[in-house]
């Protein structure tokens, strides 16, 4: 029977990175305390209560989804910035980028009667355009409620990140991310997975926080979900994680709107918040020239 590797909370980021590379994902047990879970749960409760069930097959008809978590749930900030998760994310994605960014935030509450979600690869959001040699994501699903096979624990197919695209998972190849509140499922953008079916009376609540390469478009537009007037009150590390910083030497700069001679051109996002950029804000024209030259001679 296929299973998911469980690691203890004091595991190293290298072990997480290696396990994800080998199996496509793993669970870190009991990474955050019960009181913290309670606070997250209380903070999300009014949004879930007021939220509506999904209206399409992939999202589910008995599932509620709440986004913009960095704007709505201060208790979730700590999850997004968790040092072990950030370190493992950094190690996992660093071969493909010079930094990572927050990509998607969502509380997912699966209720009684929901069926199993179609197994999928989250990298599908970019279509077929990215070569498999580039790993796109480091994803987390934090268990806020208990996750059991009966209440909708995430389906997960170990090793499927190495399968050819068309291969279908057989029932005995599907594992279930059974875990206690405060534990977290970690997986990459290429492994097959999906929400589970809920046959119980209680809701399965998870907080999904996904990270991606800082040069790829984010699935959830963080600048609209958490616009500058809200982002200005967030911790600067979190703001930068959301994309309010440069990716590489120039990606994501802005020029202030305004009349002639007003404001500034080629500003790093931190300028908006009166902060110094995280990295020295020097456009590396050597690197840009080299890339442009390669591009020019390529055709
Ligand atoms: O909620 C879950 O367990 C997984 C959901 C998922 O994979 C998705 O919506 O992309
Ligand atoms: Fe997914």
β-pair partners for 292: none
Q: How far is the CA of 38 from the centre of ligand 2 (A)?
A: 25
Q: What would the mean pLDDT of 263-292 be, rounded to a whole number?
A: 75
Q: What would the mean pLDDT of 135-150 be, rounded to a whole number?
A: 98
Give percent of the chain above pLDDT 70.
Answer: 93
So what's the pLDDT on residue 1?
46
* C-beta of 141 in contact with ligand 1 (< 6 A): yes
So what's the pLDDT on residue 286?
58
Task: Tally Cβ neighbours within 10 Å of residue 124.
Answer: 11
Least confident piece of the model among 34-38, 151-155, 279-283: 279-283
* C-beta of 194 in contact with ligand 1 (< 6 A): yes
Residues in the chain: 299
Closest listed ligand to the CA of 195:
1
* C-beta of 195 in contact with ligand 1 (< 6 A): yes
Residue 287, pLDDT > 60, answer no
Closest listed ligand to the CA of 141:
1
CB 134 within 8 A of CB 117: no
The residue whose CA has the least distance to atom 4 of ligand 1 is 195
* C-beta of 89 in contact with ligand 1 (< 6 A): no
The residue whose CA has the least distance to atom 6 of ligand 1 is 194
Give percent of the chain above pLDDT 90.
Answer: 87
So what's the pLDDT on residue 142?
98
Atom of ligand 1 nearest to the CA of 59: 9
Q: How far is the CA of 116 from the centre of ligand 2 (A)?
A: 12
Atom of ligand 1 nearest to the CA of 155: 3
So what's the pLDDT on residue 277?
86
Q: What would the mean pLDDT of 57-72 be, rounded to a whole number?
A: 97
Q: Which helix (H) or strand (E) holds 99?
A: none
pLDDT digits (tens, 9 = 90+) for 255-264: 988 899 998 8
So what's the pLDDT on residue 281?
54
Comparing 193 with 263, which gets the higher pLDDT?
193
So what's the pLDDT on residue 165?
93
The residue whose CA has the least distance to atom 8 of ligand 1 is 194
Q: How far is the CA of 58 from the centre of ligand 2 (A)?
A: 10
Q: How far is the CA of 122 from the centre of ligand 2 (A)?
A: 5
Q: How far is the CA of 241 from the centre of ligand 2 (A)?
A: 21
Average pLDDT value over all residues in the chain: 93
Task: Write the CA distances from 154 to 36, 142, 149, 167, 265, integer angstroms.
Answer: 22, 11, 8, 20, 46
Residue 141, pLDDT > 60, answer yes
So what's the pLDDT on residue 297?
43
Which has the closest alpha carbon to 240: 130, 116, 100, 115? 100
Q: How far is the CA of 118 from the centre of ligand 1 (A)?
A: 9
**Sign (positive or negative) of CA dihedral 159, 165, 167, 170:** positive
Atom of ligand 1 nearest to the CA of 196: 3
The residue whose CA has the least distance to atom 1 of ligand 1 is 195
Q: What would the mean pLDDT of 191-220 be, rounded to a whole number?
A: 98
Residue 72, helix vs strand vs coil: helix
Which has the closest alpha carbon to 63: 187, 205, 179? 205
Residue 299, pLDDT > 50, answer no
pLDDT digits (tens, 9 = 90+) for 100-131: 999 999 999 999 999 999 999 999 999 999 99
Comparing 250 with 101, which gets the higher pLDDT?
101
pLDDT digits (tens, 9 = 90+) for 180-189: 999 999 999 9
């Amino acid at each position: 029977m296929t299973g998911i590797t469980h690691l203890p909370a004091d595991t190293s980021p290298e072990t997480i990175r290696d396990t994800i590379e080998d199996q496509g994902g793993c669970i870190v047990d009991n990474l955050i305390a019960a009181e913290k879970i309670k606070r997250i749960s209380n903070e999300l409760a009014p949004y879930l209560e007021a939220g509506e069930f999904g209206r399409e097959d992939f999202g589910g008809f008995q599932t509620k989804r709440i986004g913009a978590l960095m704007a709505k749930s201060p208790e979730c900030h700590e999850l997004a910035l968790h040092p072990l998760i950030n370190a493992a994310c950094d190690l996992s994605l660093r071969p493909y980028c010079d930094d990572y960014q927050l990509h998607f935030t969502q509380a997912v509450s699966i209720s009684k009667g929901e069926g199993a979600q179609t197994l999928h690869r989250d990298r599908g959001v970019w279509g077929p355009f990215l070569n498999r040699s580039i790993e796109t994501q480091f994803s987390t699903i934090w268990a806020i409620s208990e996750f059991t096979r009966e209440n909708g624990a995430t389906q997960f197919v170990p090793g499927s990140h190495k399968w050819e695209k068309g291969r279908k998972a057989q029932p005995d190849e599907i594992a279930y991310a059974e875990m206690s509140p405060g534990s977290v499922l970690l997986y990459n953008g290429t492994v097959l997975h999906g929400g589970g079916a809920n046959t119980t009376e209680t809701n399965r609540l998870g907080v999904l926080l996904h990270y991606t390469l800082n040069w790829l478009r984010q699935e959830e537009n963080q600048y609209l979900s958490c616009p500058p007037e809200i982002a200005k009150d967030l911790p600067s590390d979190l703001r930068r994680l959301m994309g309010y910083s440069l990716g590489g030497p120039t990606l994501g700069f802005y020029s202030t709107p305004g009349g002639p001679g007003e404001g500034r051109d080629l500003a790093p996002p931190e300028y908006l918040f009166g902060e110094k950029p995280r990295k020295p804000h020097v456009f590396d024209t050597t690197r840009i020239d080299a890339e442009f030259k390669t591009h020019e001679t390529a055709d």
